[in-house]
Amino acid sequence: MTLANKTIVVTGCCSGIGSDFAKLARLQGARVIGVDRNDPTLTLDGFVKIDLGNPAAIDAAIGQLPDHIDAVANIAGVPGTAPVDLVGQVNYLGLRHFTQRMLERMTAGGAIVNVSSILGAEWPARLEQHRALGATTGFAEGAQWLRDHPVPQETCYQYFKEALIVWTFTQSQKVFLERGVRMNCVAPGPVFTPILGDFVAMLGEERVQKDAHRMKRPAFSDEVAPVIAFLCDDASRWISGVNLPVDGGLASTYL
Protein backbone atom coordinates (compact mmCIF):
# COMPACT_ATOMS: atom_id res chain seq x y z
CA MET A 1 0.00 0.00 0.00
CA THR A 2 1.34 3.42 -0.94
CA LEU A 3 0.04 6.94 -1.29
CA ALA A 4 3.01 8.06 -3.39
CA ASN A 5 2.38 11.09 -5.60
CA LYS A 6 -1.16 11.63 -4.30
CA THR A 7 -2.29 15.05 -3.11
CA ILE A 8 -4.33 14.59 0.05
CA VAL A 9 -6.25 17.19 2.04
CA VAL A 10 -6.53 16.37 5.74
CA THR A 11 -8.89 18.27 8.02
CA GLY A 12 -8.12 18.27 11.73
CA CYS A 13 -4.46 17.72 10.93
CA CYS A 14 -3.01 19.28 14.07
CA SER A 15 -3.83 16.60 16.65
CA GLY A 16 -4.99 13.06 17.27
CA ILE A 17 -5.99 10.88 14.35
CA GLY A 18 -5.59 13.73 11.86
CA SER A 19 -1.99 14.35 12.87
CA ASP A 20 -1.05 10.66 12.77
CA PHE A 21 -2.70 10.20 9.39
CA ALA A 22 -0.95 13.26 7.94
CA LYS A 23 2.42 11.93 9.11
CA LEU A 24 1.71 8.46 7.72
CA ALA A 25 0.55 9.82 4.37
CA ARG A 26 3.72 11.92 3.97
CA LEU A 27 5.82 8.90 4.93
CA GLN A 28 4.13 6.98 2.12
CA GLY A 29 4.99 9.68 -0.38
CA ALA A 30 1.84 11.78 -0.48
CA ARG A 31 1.72 15.55 -0.72
CA VAL A 32 -0.33 16.50 2.35
CA ILE A 33 -2.25 19.75 2.65
CA GLY A 34 -3.48 20.30 6.19
CA VAL A 35 -6.66 22.10 7.18
CA ASP A 36 -7.35 23.11 10.77
CA ARG A 37 -8.63 26.00 12.86
CA ASN A 38 -5.37 25.87 14.85
CA ASP A 39 -1.85 26.60 13.63
CA PRO A 40 0.07 23.53 12.41
CA THR A 41 2.25 21.61 14.81
CA LEU A 42 3.79 19.17 12.31
CA THR A 43 5.52 19.21 8.95
CA LEU A 44 3.11 19.53 6.01
CA ASP A 45 3.36 20.31 2.31
CA GLY A 46 0.81 23.06 2.71
CA PHE A 47 -1.61 24.40 5.28
CA VAL A 48 -4.85 26.37 5.16
CA LYS A 49 -6.41 27.72 8.33
CA ILE A 50 -10.19 27.29 8.16
CA ASP A 51 -13.07 27.36 10.63
CA LEU A 52 -15.05 24.41 9.27
CA GLY A 53 -18.15 25.61 11.09
CA ASN A 54 -18.31 28.68 8.85
CA PRO A 55 -19.30 28.15 5.19
CA ALA A 56 -18.11 31.62 4.19
CA ALA A 57 -14.67 30.84 5.64
CA ILE A 58 -14.61 27.55 3.74
CA ASP A 59 -15.49 29.27 0.47
CA ALA A 60 -12.93 32.02 1.06
CA ALA A 61 -10.16 29.48 1.66
CA ILE A 62 -10.91 27.15 -1.26
CA GLY A 63 -8.66 29.13 -3.61
CA GLN A 64 -5.66 28.36 -1.39
CA LEU A 65 -6.02 24.62 -1.98
CA PRO A 66 -4.53 22.73 -4.96
CA ASP A 67 -6.45 22.60 -8.23
CA HIS A 68 -6.22 18.81 -8.26
CA ILE A 69 -6.88 16.69 -5.19
CA ASP A 70 -6.66 12.90 -5.05
CA ALA A 71 -8.14 12.31 -1.60
CA VAL A 72 -9.85 14.10 1.27
CA ALA A 73 -9.71 12.82 4.84
CA ASN A 74 -12.42 14.52 6.90
CA ILE A 75 -11.05 14.02 10.41
CA ALA A 76 -11.77 17.36 12.10
CA GLY A 77 -14.51 17.36 14.71
CA VAL A 78 -15.65 18.68 18.06
CA PRO A 79 -16.91 16.60 21.01
CA GLY A 80 -20.46 16.46 22.25
CA THR A 81 -19.56 18.67 25.20
CA ALA A 82 -19.47 21.61 22.76
CA PRO A 83 -22.70 23.57 22.13
CA VAL A 84 -25.10 21.58 19.97
CA ASP A 85 -25.09 24.19 17.18
CA LEU A 86 -21.30 24.01 16.93
CA VAL A 87 -21.34 20.21 16.86
CA GLY A 88 -23.81 20.25 13.98
CA GLN A 89 -21.92 22.93 12.09
CA VAL A 90 -18.47 21.34 12.32
CA ASN A 91 -19.22 17.62 12.43
CA TYR A 92 -21.90 17.63 9.74
CA LEU A 93 -22.88 20.80 7.89
CA GLY A 94 -19.36 22.15 7.47
CA LEU A 95 -17.94 18.74 6.61
CA ARG A 96 -20.61 18.31 3.95
CA HIS A 97 -20.05 21.78 2.51
CA PHE A 98 -16.27 21.32 2.45
CA THR A 99 -16.56 17.93 0.79
CA GLN A 100 -18.87 19.23 -1.91
CA ARG A 101 -16.39 21.98 -2.71
CA MET A 102 -13.49 19.50 -2.74
CA LEU A 103 -15.34 17.26 -5.20
CA GLU A 104 -15.04 20.06 -7.76
CA ARG A 105 -11.27 19.41 -7.73
CA MET A 106 -11.35 15.62 -7.80
CA THR A 107 -11.33 13.25 -10.77
CA ALA A 108 -11.83 9.51 -11.28
CA GLY A 109 -9.82 7.45 -8.85
CA GLY A 110 -10.21 9.91 -6.00
CA ALA A 111 -11.32 9.03 -2.48
CA ILE A 112 -13.12 10.71 0.39
CA VAL A 113 -12.89 9.27 3.91
CA ASN A 114 -15.18 10.61 6.61
CA VAL A 115 -14.44 9.80 10.24
CA SER A 116 -17.70 8.78 11.88
CA SER A 117 -17.87 6.89 15.19
CA ILE A 118 -19.08 3.70 16.78
CA LEU A 119 -21.55 6.03 18.52
CA GLY A 120 -23.29 6.50 15.18
CA ALA A 121 -24.37 2.86 15.07
CA GLU A 122 -28.01 3.61 15.87
CA TRP A 123 -28.61 5.50 12.62
CA PRO A 124 -31.37 3.07 11.48
CA ALA A 125 -33.59 4.30 14.33
CA ARG A 126 -33.57 7.81 12.85
CA LEU A 127 -33.07 6.99 9.20
CA GLU A 128 -35.87 9.17 7.84
CA GLN A 129 -34.71 12.18 9.87
CA HIS A 130 -31.17 11.77 8.59
CA ARG A 131 -32.41 11.34 5.02
CA ALA A 132 -34.41 14.55 5.33
CA LEU A 133 -31.43 16.48 6.69
CA GLY A 134 -29.22 15.01 3.98
CA ALA A 135 -31.67 16.13 1.31
CA THR A 136 -31.24 19.79 2.26
CA THR A 137 -29.16 21.74 -0.24
CA GLY A 138 -26.40 23.80 1.26
CA PHE A 139 -25.25 24.83 4.70
CA ALA A 140 -27.94 27.46 5.31
CA GLU A 141 -30.83 25.18 4.39
CA GLY A 142 -29.40 22.43 6.57
CA ALA A 143 -29.02 24.85 9.47
CA GLN A 144 -32.66 25.93 9.07
CA TRP A 145 -33.79 22.30 9.06
CA LEU A 146 -31.96 21.78 12.34
CA ARG A 147 -33.58 24.85 13.85
CA ASP A 148 -36.95 23.37 12.88
CA HIS A 149 -35.96 19.95 14.25
CA PRO A 150 -33.85 20.63 17.37
CA VAL A 151 -31.32 18.02 18.45
CA PRO A 152 -30.89 17.41 22.21
CA GLN A 153 -27.52 18.46 23.61
CA GLU A 154 -27.00 15.17 25.45
CA THR A 155 -27.15 13.09 22.24
CA CYS A 156 -25.98 15.60 19.64
CA TYR A 157 -22.62 13.95 19.00
CA GLN A 158 -24.24 10.60 18.28
CA TYR A 159 -26.93 12.24 16.18
CA PHE A 160 -24.55 14.01 13.83
CA LYS A 161 -22.30 10.96 13.47
CA GLU A 162 -25.41 8.99 12.50
CA ALA A 163 -26.32 11.73 10.02
CA LEU A 164 -22.82 11.62 8.55
CA ILE A 165 -23.00 7.86 8.04
CA VAL A 166 -26.38 8.14 6.32
CA TRP A 167 -25.21 11.02 4.13
CA THR A 168 -22.13 9.04 3.11
CA PHE A 169 -24.24 5.99 2.30
CA THR A 170 -26.80 7.91 0.27
CA GLN A 171 -24.28 10.02 -1.66
CA SER A 172 -21.51 7.50 -2.25
CA GLN A 173 -22.89 5.61 -5.22
CA LYS A 174 -24.04 8.76 -6.99
CA VAL A 175 -20.57 10.27 -6.62
CA PHE A 176 -18.87 7.01 -7.62
CA LEU A 177 -20.99 6.57 -10.76
CA GLU A 178 -20.81 10.20 -11.86
CA ARG A 179 -17.24 11.10 -10.92
CA GLY A 180 -15.41 7.87 -10.13
CA VAL A 181 -14.68 9.14 -6.61
CA ARG A 182 -15.22 6.75 -3.72
CA MET A 183 -16.69 7.87 -0.40
CA ASN A 184 -16.45 5.83 2.80
CA CYS A 185 -16.55 6.21 6.58
CA VAL A 186 -14.21 4.96 9.27
CA ALA A 187 -15.92 4.43 12.63
CA PRO A 188 -13.49 4.43 15.57
CA GLY A 189 -14.41 3.42 19.08
CA PRO A 190 -12.78 5.27 21.98
CA VAL A 191 -9.36 6.66 21.00
CA PHE A 192 -6.55 8.11 23.10
CA THR A 193 -6.72 11.68 21.75
CA PRO A 194 -6.82 15.12 23.44
CA ILE A 195 -10.64 15.00 23.52
CA LEU A 196 -11.04 11.53 25.06
CA GLY A 197 -11.90 13.16 28.38
CA ASP A 198 -14.72 15.06 26.69
CA PHE A 199 -16.21 11.78 25.52
CA VAL A 200 -16.09 10.36 29.04
CA ALA A 201 -17.88 13.48 30.30
CA MET A 202 -20.38 13.30 27.44
CA LEU A 203 -21.30 9.63 27.95
CA GLY A 204 -21.16 9.68 31.75
CA GLU A 205 -19.16 7.51 34.09
CA GLU A 206 -21.88 4.84 34.31
CA ARG A 207 -21.88 4.23 30.55
CA VAL A 208 -18.09 4.26 30.40
CA GLN A 209 -17.78 1.68 33.18
CA LYS A 210 -20.50 -0.46 31.61
CA ASP A 211 -18.56 -0.61 28.34
CA ALA A 212 -15.07 -0.94 29.85
CA HIS A 213 -15.16 -4.75 30.05
CA ARG A 214 -16.11 -4.99 26.36
CA MET A 215 -12.71 -3.88 25.05
CA LYS A 216 -9.01 -4.25 25.78
CA ARG A 217 -8.42 -0.49 25.83
CA PRO A 218 -9.10 2.63 23.77
CA ALA A 219 -7.31 2.72 20.43
CA PHE A 220 -4.15 4.66 19.77
CA SER A 221 -4.66 7.19 16.99
CA ASP A 222 -1.90 5.58 14.94
CA GLU A 223 -4.03 2.40 14.86
CA VAL A 224 -6.83 4.27 13.09
CA ALA A 225 -4.65 6.25 10.67
CA PRO A 226 -3.58 3.24 8.52
CA VAL A 227 -7.22 2.32 7.89
CA ILE A 228 -7.87 5.82 6.56
CA ALA A 229 -4.74 5.45 4.43
CA PHE A 230 -6.03 2.16 3.01
CA LEU A 231 -9.33 3.76 2.00
CA CYS A 232 -7.41 6.57 0.26
CA ASP A 233 -5.19 4.08 -1.56
CA ASP A 234 -5.80 2.47 -4.94
CA ALA A 235 -5.79 -0.91 -3.18
CA SER A 236 -9.35 -0.08 -2.00
CA ARG A 237 -10.49 1.10 -5.43
CA TRP A 238 -13.60 -1.14 -5.34
CA ILE A 239 -14.72 -0.18 -1.85
CA SER A 240 -17.34 2.54 -1.74
CA GLY A 241 -20.23 3.35 0.56
CA VAL A 242 -19.06 1.49 3.67
CA ASN A 243 -18.79 2.46 7.33
CA LEU A 244 -15.77 0.51 8.56
CA PRO A 245 -15.51 -0.05 12.35
CA VAL A 246 -12.03 0.39 13.82
CA ASP A 247 -12.87 -0.34 17.44
CA GLY A 248 -10.98 -3.44 18.58
CA GLY A 249 -14.17 -5.48 18.22
CA LEU A 250 -16.29 -3.30 20.50
CA ALA A 251 -19.26 -3.11 18.12
CA SER A 252 -19.44 -6.89 17.87
CA THR A 253 -20.17 -7.18 21.61
CA TYR A 254 -23.57 -5.52 21.18
CA LEU A 255 -24.99 -8.37 19.08
| Catalytic annotation, residues | 157
Bridging pattern class, strands 46-49 and 31-36: parallel
Residues in the chain: 255
Question: Which of 181, 243, 255, 177 lies closest to 214, judged by CA?
Answer: 255
* Helix (H) or strand (E) run with residue 207 in it: helix 205-212
Pick the closest to residue 198 from 190, 188, 210 (CA basis). Answer: 190
What residue type is 186 in one-letter code?
Answer: V
Q: Are 171 and 98 in contact (CB under 8 A)?
A: no
Best CA proximity match to 184, nearest among 231, 238, 223, 234: 231
- How far apart are alpha carbons 126 and 241 in whole angstroms? 19
